[in-house]
């Protein structure tokens, strides 16, 4: 198990390979479709985004409301492909890792290779279990988006697998333990 502590640097990320299990400890930001759109619009206007992108990890999640006494509600990943139109721009601005579920398009895969970033996958349908790895959560941007607002999470041993690496590998291309890439 490889432990990742954001902010990540390019050298760390380029050493990761598809299929490796990781545990993330530290600060992760949440963002889904609308938040991604707003982040990219801010960058297009030449504005600083409301979160630091350099070395960051973004988790594609819109958590459910927390029950009394809980830090956060269920926090399972959403479909990663919905962020494909925005991810290359964020990667070019220093984003080093994303966490979600499912496939990424060719443009995202090329950006991962060019800039030294990875896509991590975690378990869909396990939001209640994953929320146990979140020690703190606070809304830091776009509060009007409700559950899709950007949150700053402090995570402990958050489990994921390297699904796409910076060398062009894809865990979805693995057949009999050998990469088809």
Beta-bridge partners for 3? 23
Q: Taking a C-beta distance cutoff of 8 angstroms, is the pair 79, 102 a contact?
A: yes
Distances (CA, A) of 77 to 18, 22, 127, 129: 19, 16, 7, 12
Residue with tokens 């492909």: 81
Catalytic member of 36, 93, 119, 133? 36
Helices (H) and strands (E) in the chain, counts: 5, 9
Would you give the distance in Å from CA 65 to the centre of its chain?
20
Q: Is 133 a catalytic residue?
A: no
Interatomic CA distance for residues 171 and 177, integer angstroms: 9
- Which residues carry out catalysis? 36
């Amino acid at each position: 198990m490889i432990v990742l502590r954001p902010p990540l640097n390019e050298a760390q990320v380029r050493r990761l390979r598809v299929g490796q299990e990781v545990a993330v400890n530290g600060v992760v930001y949440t963002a889904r479709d609308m938040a991604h759109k707003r982040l990219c619009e801010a960058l297009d206007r030449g504005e600083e985004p409301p979160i630091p992108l350099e070395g960051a990890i973004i988790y594609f999640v819109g958590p459910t409301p927390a029950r009394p006494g809980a830090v956060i509600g269920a926090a399972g990943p959403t479909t990663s492909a919905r962020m494909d139109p925005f991810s290359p721009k964020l990667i070019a601005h220093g984003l080093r890792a994303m966490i979600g579920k499912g496939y990424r398009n060719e443009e995202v895969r090329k950006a991962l290779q060019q800039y030294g970033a990875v896509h991590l996958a975690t378990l869909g349908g396990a939001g209640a279990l994953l929320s146990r790895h979140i020690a703190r959560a606070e809304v830091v941007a776009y509060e009007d988006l409700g559950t899709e607002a950007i949150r700053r999470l402090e995570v402990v041993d958050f489990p994921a697998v390297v699904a796409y690496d910076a060398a062009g590998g894809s865990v979805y291309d693995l057949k009999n333990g050998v990469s088809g890439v």
